[in-house]
Homo-oligomer: A and B are copies of this chain.
Amino acid sequence: MSSRAGAAKGRGTRRYPTRDEVARLAGTSTAVVSYVVNDGPRPVSAATKERVLEAIEALGYRPNALARSLRARRTQAIGLIVPDLANPFFGELGRWVEDRGFDGGNALLVGNSMGSEEREQRYVELFLQYRVAGLILVPIGDGRASAQRLRESAVPVVVLDRPVPGLAVPAVLPDNVAGAAAATRHLLEHGYSEVACLAGPDGLASSEERVEGWSRALDEALVPMSGRLLLRTAFGRAAGYRGALELLDRADRPRAVFVASDEQAFGVLRAAAHRGIRVPEDLAVIGFDGLEQAAFTVPGLTTMRQDVRAAGELAVRTLTDRSPQPAARTVRLPVRLCLRGSCGCPDKLEEGGAW
């Protein structure tokens, strides 16, 4: 058995040693312990420091971050609220936010709003009580509900992925319009005379922007638009699957489709297979987001890749920069066409085996 302070028997049984105990054991004052732990602000003689370090080690002392934050009047925690962590897009986003935060010594609190505004509110509230140093929000719905509560608060906030009309807060967004237009244009260049759009839900700004890009590309190419080419569904594989069936079961089914998210596109691929419709020969598909999984579908999914990493990192940086805050700024990150087989281009796995 270890020589350390009494081994834990039950659970959560043992108390954490405090600064007082360390001081006592080292035969110094608590202030000195603090100077050692923080390497400042006052100097400590080498000998004393040594004794303190030994006491810390012997006791297994771990500074209490809560007390520290209380005293400092600021935490090192940042909050992230997303619609669903199990959605690979938010998973990837979360990874980069976490990674960047970790570099800066931040802890990351995450909340899933699960598509519920009420739940989103509750998380905003909870994180505010935890006095997070910053809050990154991928808002649900039109985000108006959270806007008010946030505007009244003192935390720096960044919204990600979706603009929130009423909120004058920095935003990091993909260039949805340009991306959707590029995807549509690419399909047109493959020679299709019309391109359908399997869009995201109504009323969600990022969804509307992608529809806008699609429609703009059609206009530019002087392709006549028609309502029957546009179908809105929820984001997500299952919704994409059902939407695709609806499109594909029509007598005049489309030959090419721009899908507003990769997740929906996975559903489209599955639906086409289910109906015996070959991709890309009978149906050309382009998705949006650039998920890692898109490189592994059969055929590979051509998609508009967002730089999720840049988005996550930029969000954290915006929160973290202690520089005088410029007026709330919206940054549009470029998306780029990532060619694979589903649109009719050659279907090669990325060289170098990037993933």
Q: Are B238 and A8 in contact (CB under 8 A)?
A: no
Taking a contact as CB atoms closer than 8 A, the residue among B8, B88, B241, B267 that contacts A91 in the complex is: B88
What is the oligomeric copy number? 2
Among A59-67, A220-228, A248-256, the stretch in contact with B: A59-67
Given contacts A65-B130, A86-B88, A131-B65, contact A109 B107 (CB under 8 A): yes
A355 near B91: Cβ-Cβ < 8 Å: no
Q: How far is the CA of A60 from the CA of B69 in the complex (A)?
A: 21
- B63, B238, B299: the one within 8 Å of A353 (CB): B238
Is A126 an interface residue, CB under 8 A from the partner?
A: yes
Interface: A273 (CB within 8 A): yes
Asked if A125 CB lies within 8 Å of chain B CBs, one says yes
Other-chain contact of A108, B63, B109, B354 (Cβ < 8 Å):
B109
Listed stretches A26-34, A44-52, A93-101, A199-207; interface member: A93-101
Q: By the criterion CB–CB under 8 Å, are A298 and B324 in contact?
A: no
A273 touches B299 (CB 8 A): yes
Looking at the complex, which one of B94, B107, B112, B295 makes contact with A85 (CB distance below 8 Å)? B94
Q: Which of B236, B273, B292 is the one whose CB lies under 8 Å from A237?
A: B292
Chain B residues near A66 (CB, 8 Å)?
66, 69-70, 75, 130-131
Residue of B86, B99, B297 near A92 (CB, 8 A) is B86
